[in-house]
Amino acid sequence: MDVFGSNPYAIGLKPDIKINANNRHVSRKTEIKDSFYMTSPLKLCAQPAIEKMIAQSPEVRQILSENNIPARLNMQELENLINGHAKETAEISAGIARNLPPALRQQVDMYALKEGAILHDFGKVLIPPEILNKPNVLNSHEHKIMDLHSELGYQLLKNTSVNDEVLKLIRYHHNPFDTMPDINLQILNLADKYSALTEKRVYKDAFSPKSALTILYAEVKNGKINPAIYNALVMSETAKELNLKAKHIM
């Protein structure tokens, strides 16, 4: 979906950013159901709100221009992310937090963690779908574009009602473990990885929970994941599996 059409938010965009190149009509009707965006932070995911964010952010427009990314919103992709991967990441994050040792659990900001998990991939609304949904390995240029989603999400949301702790989670959720002393970032980073591994993607089948945990354990041994947070993930997923078995027996 092209972003602007003839709407006044287009004023101020750099001339080398192509807007509505195919002259397609853009409906002003939001494409995301009421239940998807009427409560914070999901209300930020409505098309008019994102258009306004772009219009008000020279940083976003500069990133798009410098990387030759068309300024088009992929609203369907954002809806899929929020209702799928982001929701799952938020649930996994909450499970990890609940199973941490008390001393670590006290350091968790549950509000920020939940909002950060829901919005962590917000910037993918501006990543071209041919890169997001490429069925095979990304080349180096495509990787560079994909990696911009964290910074794009931060720049889009930094002038909204989203607080600084949530913004930090959005901007740095892919950073290496040794650069992330914040426990909320470490939880989100691990939850994001686990969710991605256990989901079916266009380029891979879903790993089983056991296989995904085995893959992540290799990162624990290599010092890339906090062992305490990994153990909390294992405990959370074990409890989930036991609950499913109990329901099946009943």
CATH number, domain containing residue 193: 1.10.3210.10
Residue range of the domain that includes 193: 8-249
- Is 70 exceeded by the pLDDT of residue 94? yes
- Is 70 exceeded by the pLDDT of residue 40? no
- Is 50 exceeded by the pLDDT of residue 44? yes
Rounded Cα–Cα distance for residues 214 and 234 (Å): 10
What is the count of structural domains for the chain?
1
**217-248 tens-digit pLDDT:** 999 999 999 999 999 999 999 998 887 767 66
Q: Is residue 3 domain-resident? A: no
**148-201 tens-digit pLDDT:** 999 999 999 999 999 999 999 999 999 988 788 899 999 999 999 999 999 998
- Could you tell me if 212 and 194 are in contact, meaning their C-beta atoms sit under 8 angstroms apart? yes
Q: Is residue 217 domain-resident? A: yes
Instruction: State the pLDDT at residue 39.
Output: 53
pTM above 0.85, yes or no: no
Rounded Cα–Cα distance for residues 198 and 195 (Å): 5
Instruction: State the pLDDT at residue 243.
Output: 78
Rounded Cα–Cα distance for residues 171 and 163 (Å): 12
Query: What is the residue-averaged pLDDT of the chain?
Result: 85
Instruction: State the pLDDT at residue 14.
Output: 37
Q: Is residue 48 domain-resident? A: yes
Instruction: State the pLDDT at residue 53.
Output: 96
Q: Is residue 1 domain-resident? A: no
Classify 204 as helix, strand or coil. Answer: strand
End-to-end CA distance of the chain: 47
